[in-house]
């Protein structure tokens, strides 16, 4: 029972450390920074891709803009990218790999960092400013920028992304597209933006999406963002604490996969219940069962996605030990 309580507390108290990335190249945060002048430059097209990098454990962001200058003269604009973050011990709160390219040419930028409190958040933090100058020729200009950041850590991880700064440009975004590539085994709450899920996913009983592989996408025309993007992924151990393969039994998926089973927990289980628990370990890894009843049983679990090749499945040493113990109790 204590594990159920722990999960409830974890869901209610989200202790998050966040790095807030921004959309577009101009951001105003609590009157700390504004565009130098009101601009006539419009966003014709924006393609935004946010993906989790399993190697660096950072969120990679790449944005392709097509801007439109409706005048017959070049316009030189000072543009700024702002990142507000909350430093914490060894948490990397800074932007890494920031680059901006205009029609294929990399722009120089100046960077500064200031300490202070964000007006909408309760924590002291730091703000990074990346400032460049872009000359927009009459007609269309392509701007690409990319960077990586840590996002959020805590009971939830994921990222916050400021979309509403696009309103600093003139008019709506004529064509907007967003793609989010999530890490494997992600349990994600419903974002405020009407994102469309793709890939291998199921809705769970908490109205969250569990993705084995996949993410979200969103497209719009004449898009005026009225809300920012906040994608919160429940850290996997917390998710598994709340997943019980046997209704009414206190053995969670986290226990089966990451804890050494205690024989006293198994003493009053039936042979069928022991069989379900043993096979739940394989099911987590995507085992494709020949037994149709087992298949039907696990397909009701939000985390089960059968794979095509059982030979690729590898249990950890602890999981193999739990399988052996469950099998021994089944044979009694």
- Shared domain for 118 and 204, answered yes or no, is yes
Residues 6+ apart with CB under 8 A from 93: 17, 19, 85, 86, 87, 125, 126, 150
For residue 27, is pLDDT > 50? no
Taking residues 142-167, report their average pLDDT: 83
Structure tokens belonging to residue 202: 């199921």
Q: What is the 3-state secondary structure (H, E, C) of 265-288?
A: HHCCCCHHHHHHHHHHHHHHCCCC
- Shared domain for 286 and 159, answered yes or no, is no
Q: Check residue 132 and give its pLDDT.
A: 86
Taking residues 314-325, report their average pLDDT: 97
Grouping H, G, I as helix, E, B as strand and the rest as coil, residue 95 is: coil
For residue 26, is pLDDT > 50? no
The domain tally of the chain equals 2
- Shared domain for 155 and 57, answered yes or no, is yes
Q: With respect to residue 2, please indicate whether it lies within any of the assigned structural domains.
A: no
Burial 148-164 (b: 16+ CB within 10 A, else e): bbbbbbbbbbbbbbbbb
- Shared domain for 318 and 278, answered yes or no, is yes
pLDDT band at 168 (very low <50, low <70, confident <90, very high): confident
Taking residues 179-188, report their average pLDDT: 95
pLDDT band at 273 (very low <50, low <70, confident <90, very high): very high
What CA–CA distance (Å, rounded) separates 23 from 283? 40
What CA–CA distance (Å, rounded) separates 105 from 99? 10
Phi-psi label, residue 9: left if phi above 0, alpha if psi -120 to 50, beta otherwise: alpha
Residues 6+ apart with CB under 8 A from 73: 138
Q: With respect to residue 9, please indicate whether it lies within any of the assigned structural domains.
A: no
Query: What is the pLDDT of the chain when averaged over all its residues?
Result: 83
Taking residues 102-124, report their average pLDDT: 75
- The domain of 279 spans 243-330
Phi-psi label, residue 171: left if phi above 0, alpha if psi -120 to 50, beta otherwise: left
- Shared domain for 127 and 50, answered yes or no, is yes
Q: What is the CATH number of the domain that holds 256?
A: 1.20.58.1690
Q: How far is CA 261 from CA 4, 7, 185, 254, 323, in A?
A: 17, 20, 23, 11, 9
- Shared domain for 207 and 290, answered yes or no, is no
Burial 38-52 (b: 16+ CB within 10 A, else e): ebebbbbbbbbbbbb
For residue 272, is pLDDT > 70? yes
Q: What is the pTM of this model?
A: 0.84
- Shared domain for 286 and 313, answered yes or no, is yes
- Shared domain for 203 and 281, answered yes or no, is no
Strands 186-188 and 229-234, bridge-based pairing? antiparallel
Q: With respect to residue 300, please indicate whether it lies within any of the assigned structural domains.
A: yes
- Shared domain for 213 and 249, answered yes or no, is no
Express as a percent the part of the chain with pLDDT over 90.
54
Q: Which of 216, 234, 252 is the last residue of a domain?
A: 234
- Shared domain for 249 and 319, answered yes or no, is yes
Tell me which of 21-25, 53-57, 83-87 is least confident: 21-25
For residue 274, is pLDDT > 80? yes
For residue 204, is pLDDT > 90? no
- Shared domain for 278 and 170, answered yes or no, is no
Express each pLDDT in 218-256 by its tens digit.
Answer: 999 999 989 888 888 888 888 999 999 998 899 999 999
């Amino acid at each position: 029972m204590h594990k159920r309580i722990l999960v409830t507390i974890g869901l209610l108290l989200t202790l998050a450390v966040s790095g807030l990335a921004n959309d577009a190249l101009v951001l105003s945060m609590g009157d700390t920074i504004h565009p130098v002048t009101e601009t006539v430059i419009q966003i014709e097209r924006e393609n935004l891709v946010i993906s989790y990098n399993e190697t660096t454990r950072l969120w990679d962001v790449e944005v392709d803009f097509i801007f439109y200058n409706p005048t017959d003269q070049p316009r030189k604009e000072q543009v700024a990218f702002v990142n507000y973050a909350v430093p914490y011990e060894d948490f990397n709160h800074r932007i890494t790999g920031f680059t901006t390219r205009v029609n294929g040419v990399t722009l120089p930028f100046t960077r500064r960092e200031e300490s202070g409190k964000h007006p909408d958040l309760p924590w002291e933090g730091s703000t990074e400013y990346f400032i460049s100058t872009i000359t927009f020729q009459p007609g269309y200009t392509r701007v690409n920028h990319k960077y990586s950041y840590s996002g959020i850590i805590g009971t939830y991880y994921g990222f916050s992304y400021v979309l509403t700064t696009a309103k600093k440009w003139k008019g709506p975004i004529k064509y907007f597209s967003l793609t989010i590539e999530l890490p494997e085994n992600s349990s994600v709450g419903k974002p405020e933006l009407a994102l469309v899920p793709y890939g291998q996913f199921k809705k769970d009983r908490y109205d969250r999406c569990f993705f084995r592989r996949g993410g979200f996408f969103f497209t719009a025309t004449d898009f005026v963002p009225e809300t920012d993007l906040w994608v919160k992924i429940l850290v996997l151990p917390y998710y598994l604490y709340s997943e019980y393969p046997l209704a009414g039994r206190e053995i969670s998926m986290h226990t089966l996969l990451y804890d050494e089973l205690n024989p006293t927990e198994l003493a009053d289980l039936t042979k069928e219940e022991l069989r379900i628990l043993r096979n739940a370990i394989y099911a987590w890894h995507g085992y494709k069962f020949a037994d149709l009843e087992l298949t039907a049983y696990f397909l009701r679990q939000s985390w089960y996605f059968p794979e095509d090749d059982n030979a690729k499945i590898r249990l950890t040493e602890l999981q193999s030990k739990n399988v052996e113990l469950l099998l021994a109790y089944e044979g009694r």
